[in-house]
Amino acid sequence: MTDELTLNMDAYLPLRDVVFNTLREAILKGELKPGERLMELQLATKLGVSRTPIREAIRMLEQEGLAVTVPRKGAEVAKMTEKDMEDVLQVREALDDLAAKIACEQITDEQLLELEKAMHDFEASLLTKDIKKIAEGDVKFHDIIYESTGNPKLVIILNNLREQLYRYRVEYLKDEKNYPILLKEHQDIVEGLSLKDKDKLSETMHRHVKNQAEAVKAIIREQE
Amino acid sequence: MTDELTLNMDAYLPLRDVVFNTLREAILKGELKPGERLMELQLATKLGVSRTPIREAIRMLEQEGLAVTVPRKGAEVAKMTEKDMEDVLQVREALDDLAAKIACEQITDEQLLELEKAMHDFEASLLTKDIKKIAEGDVKFHDIIYESTGNPKLVIILNNLREQLYRYRVEYLKDEKNYPILLKEHQDIVEGLSLKDKDKLSETMHRHVKNQAEAVKAIIREQE
DNA sequence: TAAGATAAGATTGTATACAAAAAACATAAG
DNA sequence: CTTATGTTTTTTGTATACAATCTTATCTTA
């Protein structure tokens, strides 16, 4: 574990939520590595709080799929095997397709403009080679589509799936040769939505997820 | 709240898990009603434990979508509007379809036999008119299909979606006139899987979910 | 040396105490 | 009668204390 774990106290939130966000970020950024133990006292000391909010945050991470706990042994950062990744991506493919289809019917002109802007921002971010910015741009783009479905339950699940992939997704975004493909796919998605062309959109979405799947799996294989 | 809330202590589990299961059951059975406050001290006294495991259980219920908490005001049993139900069912339709398609390719002969047995058990349970038994039979039937996908991430999400519907689903099962339809659909599902007929299966699955959707929505409308 | 028992330390599980905030109630002013 | 204000009570938030369990190191014995 890095020792740069500090709380962001600006918000007026219960400590459990602040701790939850802090640990979540740390896991997604890779500061807390898969398999690493989450020891209550250690974390409490480091973050300057008592064990109580730590424990509650761990319960939350658990349900989010980011931590795994064995009773009386404690929690650790969830590991992701290639199989896990495939499973997540299989679900994501189905739900991304669902989201795209709903979006196709319901997206407003305003949201479509927003989406185009997000695409251009994403394109611009690719030039900066700032991974964090690129990742954020990509998230923003897909969020607009998700939100346009008007189905918060779907949005929650999709965000959770994305979260589970995030750690490895970042690796994918480090490889510049993926950028042209990624951009082209985003353009195709915008086009599909503009033309209300469900078939084209569906095809593009599947390709978009499949490409990520391949890349992410390659990364995992390297790591193992 | 009813006052018949007691802990099932037989398992050697942390109290938080026992409390979680107890509250979960109570919510699903309707003993704890939507909108009802979950007060820590009250629950702790009733269940004979301290507030600590209660609080941790509430954090878990929260992530499960069964409870909603407002910081410094406390938790309450999640309410479900007709819109929420539609949203859940929309996702479930997509994922049931996915599960069916995977099952079609992967289900083993052994699992198929199990499924037929589950169907007959379900048929038998319909005659007893014991709602709990009928609900369990239905769950068992679909579980076999879910498990046959070999995708635990998918199974978790489907179970969670089912859980969110459960409270209203039980009402649906109280109406005997639904039984023949339900049984016919189960038979069609088994047939589709036996014949590896994806199209037939997909069509049946959609119909199965849509029928429930209509019935459940009617129930909610009545309640409001 | 290896296997097993045992004791010491570390870690989680649970209860409780105290602080802070919100809610409920009562009272006074307009 | 209504609104504003202050006080009490209830409830949540957090820290801490103690108990139960697990881990690790040490020692014993074959």
- Mean predicted confidence (pLDDT) in B89-108: 96
A34: DSSP letter: T
SS3 (DSSP) at A74 = strand
Residue B112: which of B85, B78, B163, B147 has the closest Cα? B147
Model pLDDT, residue A11: 56
Q: Are A14 and A53 in contact (CB under 8 A)?
A: yes
The alpha carbon of B140 is separated from its chain's Cα centroid by a whole number of angstroms, namely: 11
Q: How confident is the model at residue A195 (pLDDT cuts 50, 70, 90)?
A: very high
Listing DSSP states for B150-177 in one string gives T-HHHHHHHHHHHHHHHHHHHHHHH-GG
Interface of A to B at Cβ within 8 Å reads 13-14, 16-17, 52, 55-56, 59-60, 62-64, 71-72, 84, 87-88, 90-91, 94-95, 97-98, 102, 151-154, 157, 164
Q: Are A122 and A141 in contact (CB under 8 A)?
A: yes
Model pLDDT, residue B87: 96
Model pLDDT, residue A2: 37
CA separation for the pair A26, A47 (Å, rounded):
13
Q: How confident is the model at residue B158 (pLDDT cuts 50, 70, 90)?
A: very high
Contact between chains at B87 and A157 (C-beta distance less than 8 A): no
| Strand D contacted by B38 CB (< 7 A) | yes
Model pLDDT, residue A224: 64
* Closest CB to A56 among B14, B59, B90: B59
Model pLDDT, residue A92: 97
**From the CA of B132, how many Å to the nearest CA of chain A?**
27
Q: Are A97 and A206 in contact (CB under 8 A)?
A: yes
| Strand D contacted by A16 CB (< 7 A) | yes
Q: Where are the domains of chain A?
A: 15-77, 82-223
Residue of B nearest to A99 (CA): B91
Contact between chains at B95 and A91 (C-beta distance less than 8 A): yes
Report the mean per-residue pLDDT for chain B: 91
Q: Per mean pLDDT, which range of A212-216, B125-129, B195-199, B201-205 is the poorest? A: A212-216
> Phi first, then psi: what are they for A110, rounded to 5°?
-60, -45
Tell me the two tokens of residue A95.
């739900």
pLDDT at B222 over 50: yes
Model pLDDT, residue B7: 55
Q: How confident is the model at residue B175 (pLDDT cuts 50, 70, 90)?
A: confident
B135-147 pLDDT tens trace? 999 999 999 999 9
Tell me the two tokens of residue A157.
């699940």
A19-60 pLDDT tens trace? 999 999 999 989 999 999 999 999 999 999 999 999 999 999
Residues with CB under 7 A from strand C: A 37-42, 51-52, 55, 69, 71-75; B 14-16, 49-53, 72-73
Q: Per mean pLDDT, which range of A161-170, A177-186, B90-99, B191-200 is the poorest? A: A161-170
CA separation for the pair B133, B145 (Å, rounded):
19
Buried/exposed code over B37-58 (b: 16+ C-beta within 10 A; e: otherwise): ebbbeebbebbebeebbbbbbb
What CATH architecture is B82-223?
Up-down Bundle (1.20)
Report the mean per-residue pLDDT for chain A: 91
Contact between chains at B94 and A97 (C-beta distance less than 8 A): yes
Q: Which CATH number fits domain A15-77: 3.40.50.620, 2.102.10.10, 1.10.10.10, 3.40.50.10490?
A: 1.10.10.10
Neighbours of A179 (CB within 10 A): 17
